[in-house]
């Protein structure tokens, strides 16, 4: 099973690269498949590539659903997605 997750763009780099953050974890990803991404945007990330941009409301809904899933599974959701409720 594959999972694509919403991530917030924190920095843009040369060669269609960006730093994104999810739940306190920062990763460098490729933006080569998505045009017009800016710092502060949310993108859906799959295997190191942004595959689409997401508006803030949809990103927050998705992250809240991940939090609910973590709670249902008995994990510590604050360690996964802090501040999302």
Q: What pLDDT sits at residue 14?
A: 97
Tens of pLDDT, residue by residue over 5-62, are 899 999 999 999 999 998 889 999 999 999 999 999 999 999 999 999 999 898 889 8
* Per-residue model confidence (pLDDT) at position 24: 86
Q: Which residue has the tokens 């999810």?
A: 22
Paired strand residues for 14? none
Q: What average pLDDT does this structure show over 74-81?
A: 58
Rounded Cα distance between 37 and 81, Å, is 22
Give bridge partners of residue 7 from the DSSP assignment.
43
Q: Which of 8, 38, 12 is nearest to 23 (CA)?
A: 8
Q: What is the pLDDT of residues 29-43, one digit of tens each?
A: 999 999 999 999 999
Q: Are 32 and 49 in contact (CB under 8 A)?
A: yes
Q: Please, what are the domains in the chain?
A: 5-80 (2.30.30.140)
Which residue, 38, 68, 75, is CA-closest to 53?
A: 38
């Amino acid at each position: 099973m594959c999972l694509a997750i919403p991530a917030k763009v924190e920095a843009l780099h040369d060669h269609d690269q960006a730093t994104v953050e999810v739940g306190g974890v920062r990763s460098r990803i490729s933006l080569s498949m998505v045009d017009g991404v800016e710092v502060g945007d949310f993108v859906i990330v799959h295997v190191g590539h942004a595959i689409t941009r997401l508006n803030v409301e949809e990103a927050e809904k998705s992250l809240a659903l991940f939090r609910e899933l973590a709670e249902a599974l008995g994990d510590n959701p604050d360690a996964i997605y802090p501040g999302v409720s």
